[in-house]
């Protein structure tokens, strides 16, 4: 085991996303899972990373239990930002098709907001990855939506699925951010967050 200090913390991933849980587990984090029941709404004047950070912070603030000194809450929210508009989780197959038609042939940004919170402090930041799709045919889009049901994914696609393997031509930044959690950046932030606490005691 790597003695990085995180083993001394009760890490709580407050997220319903199975992809975040999987990535955190595969990266070797010891954590448990909970949910905050936060309703995802944001002010109309926010854009891009401001929305992602607002939602991540909102989820962190929605944690209602008393946080023990050795506990650390991790919350996150991922959005897709394309042509100055947010593409969230599609409401149905028709909206998923519309989202993918907007993403076809263009570059967009996948942004994950992260909030780290302990009993005394809070850190909020975001990670942005640029993703480019080739021109997608209507038959490809309709096949993907019908067979893969991407209604639980921001922007209506999973980079690790069929449409990502066939359709994505470029990535700028963290691949795992697009999957759902920028684990390397989260790890670095956790180290800084916990070590700064030790220095301040």
Classify residue 186 as exposed, middle or buried by CB count within 10 Å of its CB (0-12, 13-18, 19+).
buried
Is 77 assigned a catalytic role?
Answer: yes
Distance (Å, whole) CA 29 – CA 117: 17
Residue 100's φ and ψ, nearest 5 degrees, are: -70, -30
Tally helices (H) and strands (E) across the chain.
7, 7
Distance (Å, whole) CA 199 – CA 201: 6
Distance (Å, whole) CA 192 – CA 67: 19
Q: Which of 8, 61, 77, 118 is catalytic?
A: 77
Q: What angle do CA 26, 133, 159 make, to 5 degrees?
A: 15
Q: What are the catalytic residues?
A: 77
């Amino acid at each position: 085991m790597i003695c990085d200090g995180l083993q001394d913390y009760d890490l709580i991933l407050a997220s319903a996303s199975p992809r975040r849980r999987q990535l955190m587990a595969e990266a070797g984090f010891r954590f448990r899972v909970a949910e905050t029941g936060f309703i995802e709404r944001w002010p109309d004047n926010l854009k891009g990373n401001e929305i992602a950070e607002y939602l991540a912070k909102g989820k962190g603030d929605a944690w209602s239990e008393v946080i023990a000194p050795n506990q650390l809450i991790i919350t996150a929210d991922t959005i897709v930002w394309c042509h100055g508009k947010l593409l969230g989780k599609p409401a149905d197959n028709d909206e998923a098709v519309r989202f993918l038609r907007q993403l076809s042939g263009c570059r967009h940004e996948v942004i994950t907001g992260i909030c780290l919170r302990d009993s005394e402090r809070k850190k909020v930041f975001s990670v942005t990855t640029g993703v480019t799709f080739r021109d997608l045919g209507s038959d490809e889009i309709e096949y993907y939506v019908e067979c893969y049901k991407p209604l639980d994914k921001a922007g209506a696609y999973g980079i690790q699925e069929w449409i990502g393997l066939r359709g994505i031509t470029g990535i700028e930044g963290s691949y795992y951010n697009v999957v759902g959690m920028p684990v390397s950046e989260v790890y670095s932030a956790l180290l800084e967050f916990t070590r700064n606490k030790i220095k301040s005691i």
